[in-house]
């Protein structure tokens, strides 16, 4: 049974925003590594996973290409509170406020 406490043990500094933890990591999303299974695992895993992988990348690339982003109110990345709220899609407890401006 996956509990939040169990997941905290699987990741170092689990509650900190460290996307670089995935760089050069053997952990991937394809259902073999149970600490990270966004599309489930096994025979009932998501058959549609290819679609969001491509479209999410496309959307993200377009946002990064056309906008500059800054944290609202001059907040610093290291001060972000990454606490999660309960829910099916694991929302943030405190909303992330960013200011987007057209890239120069
Ligand atoms: C970011 C997008 C998506 C995420 C995170 C996601 C995630 C998941 C997860 C976690 C499951 C349950 C797997 C399990 O029970 O072990 C699932 C099942 C499923 N997903 Fe997705 N999914 C996404 C998009 C899609 C899309 C775009 C489609 C179809 C075009 C799709 C079709 C399905 C179907 C049919 C199942 C049921 C599979 C079964 O029970 O055999 N999903 N998905």
Quote ipTM for the complex. 0.97
Q: Is the CB of 44 under 6 A from ligand 1?
A: yes
In a domain, 56, yes or no: no
Q: Which residue has a Cα nearest atom 1 of ligand 1?
A: 52
In a domain, 4, yes or no: yes
What residue numbers does the annotated binding site for heme cover? 46
In a domain, 92, yes or no: no
In a domain, 15, yes or no: yes
pLDDT tens-digit profile of 21-80?
999 999 999 999 988 899 999 999 999 999 999 999 999 999 999 999 999 998 998 888
- pTM for the complete prediction? 0.80
Q: Element (H or E) spanning 67, and its range?
A: strand 67-71
In a domain, 60, yes or no: no
Q: How many structural domains does the chain have?
A: 1
Distance CA(52)–CA(23), nearest Å, equals 20
Domain that holds residue 6: 1-47
């Amino acid at each position: 049974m996956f509990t939040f406490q169990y997941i905290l043990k699987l990741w170092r500094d689990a509650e900190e925003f460290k996307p670089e933890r995935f760089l050069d990591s053997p952990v991937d999303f394809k259902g073999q590594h149970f600490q990270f299974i966004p599309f489930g695992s096994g025979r009932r895993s998501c058959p549609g996973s290819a679609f969001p992988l491509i479209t999410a990348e496309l959307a993200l690339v377009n946002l990064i290409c056309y906008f500059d982003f800054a944290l609202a109110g001059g907040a610093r990345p290291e001060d972000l509170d990454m606490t999660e709220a309960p829910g099916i899609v694991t929302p943030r407890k405190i909303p992330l406020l960013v200011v987007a401006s057209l890239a120069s």
